[in-house]
Chain A
């Protein structure tokens, strides 16, 4: 109807591909593995009583150097869900933006939001579009979590570069320190009884463990006031956990560790 609009469906990505292909990123033609790029490191998600919590350290590496000390790697996507990213930060953040718009665009055109399952499938689709870039070294490893209103609880999906979508019942962590954070998270006995407070503590502790073992994961930086990005999705929406609250949790963990050793 407007000049230059021919696409008539509900997908924003498809709309750009058909009518404004120049706006879409094109990362072809280079082997990115040889180029020093900003990379995000450890992010995690864990189910708790009220929903699901997501957290990520703030460090980004550029080769062996510090790329950014305070990168945000956990994003609110809409009223119900969040996405965390590890891997090549440029394409990953672009994917977050596209995913947010894809869901918002659908909701506005269709008059109602996608189901949780539908949203996860849309992210799979975007990852499949990124496959050629991933094969050239621009690997994006997202984690998707949110409150599923149909099921009445928090849910987590992890993905691989082919768009493969895998449900995780309780918790997962990805990125360079993901394995260490997972080792920490799997000790949680019963996720359905985990309070908000306990979930934040478990997440901070897991990120501290990851920072301890993985050189690329950033620890908590009290001097600069840099705390992990932490968000919780519950029935009422997605909210940020404040730095003040994180600092208190951190100090409590430190006090406990000193006392114990």
Chain B
């Protein structure tokens, strides 16, 4: 039997898989950050579906996971902001946004100007 919680739980499972694929395969760091946020929202959604199943005592959902979710969303934003700042500094220093080993060699060799 499919319930609301299992529909969104399965949606969360699909999002986590999609995000993981993007995180591994995408060469652009900004797209990796986006993919990581998709994984994050999938994890939040899974937890939210579990919270919805925990309804009881006159509450429409278990408030403890929901409160942790609010904390999680805020922490995810601060981690994203830090990642973006690191990426922009990399771009400012090297003029590129590449994560490959060749780009790193070029940088340490000083052969590339910003």
Question: Are A and B subunits of one complex?
Answer: no
Chain B interface (Cβ < 8 Å from any Cβ of A): none
Question: What residues make up the interface of A, taking CB atoms closer than 8 Å to B?
Answer: none
